[in-house]
Amino acid sequence: MSSAFSADLTGRTAVVTGASSGIGRAISDIFLANGATVIGMQRRADDRPDERHRSVQVDLSDHAQLEAAANQILASDEVDILVNNAGINIRHPFEEFPLNEWDDVLDVNLRSVVRLAQAFGRPMVERRRGAIVNIASMLSFFGGFTASAYAASKGGVAQFTKSLANEWAGRGVRVNALAPGFIGTEMNTALMADATRDRQIRERIPAGDWGRAEDLAGAALFLVSDAAQYVHGAVIPIDGGYLSR
């Protein structure tokens, strides 16, 4: 993979959730290309042959699995970078939203972010160095439609990012977030297949097209690199200008 921005991550270990596909895979790939060792925390097996990559299969909605996977990694690795990327979206009109499904969305999109930031962030604070990148969303800024659980979770991610940056910026750990717009990943397959919605979305985006997972990867690389030493608590839209219109 090529990128206009490069950074030397040699000797650093990154944990990336949801790393088997989409945005998580693109971020993992660019980290690997820039010298990092990458540990993917994900539900699906991963076939990448890179010797600096391995995966830990885990269902992030399962609290016990999450704890066990984090402890497994911490027992063998010093983690310098955490990217909380994994997320799910379940849509219902709110008056019909099953609360167990609401809980599923919040568990994956917010609770796992909080728990992993705590687990991997504690040693970073002790060493006084590290970087955490959370994946927020356009719905961190506005409400969306029939996506109340997703909007609530991603609003929480944005505010959690800012709050944690307030605590850890002076202790050597950078905490920031990226807020993707309409990105052509598996989560958006149904929207892309709907000709009317696809046209409406493209017309609404100043850049005129859906983003790619790789568009997030370069920004993530910047945030974990030495070039971003003074960036703390930022929630950066990667949306083709969508929020500007």
Tell me if 125 sits within 8 A of 227, measured CB to CB.
Answer: no
Helix %, strand %, coil % of the chain (to 5): 50, 15, 35
Q: CA-to-CA distance for 223 and 235, rounded, in angstroms? A: 11
Nearest alpha carbon to residue 241 among 102, 124, 160, 138:
138
How far out from the chain centre does Cα 222 lie?
14
- Give backbone dihedrals phi and psi of 197, rounded to 5 degrees, phi first: -65, -40
Nearest alpha carbon to residue 145 among 200, 195, 103:
200
Annotated active-site residue 150? The verdict is: yes
- Check 31, 120, 150, 210 and give the catalytic one: 150
Question: Catalytic residue numbers?
Answer: 150
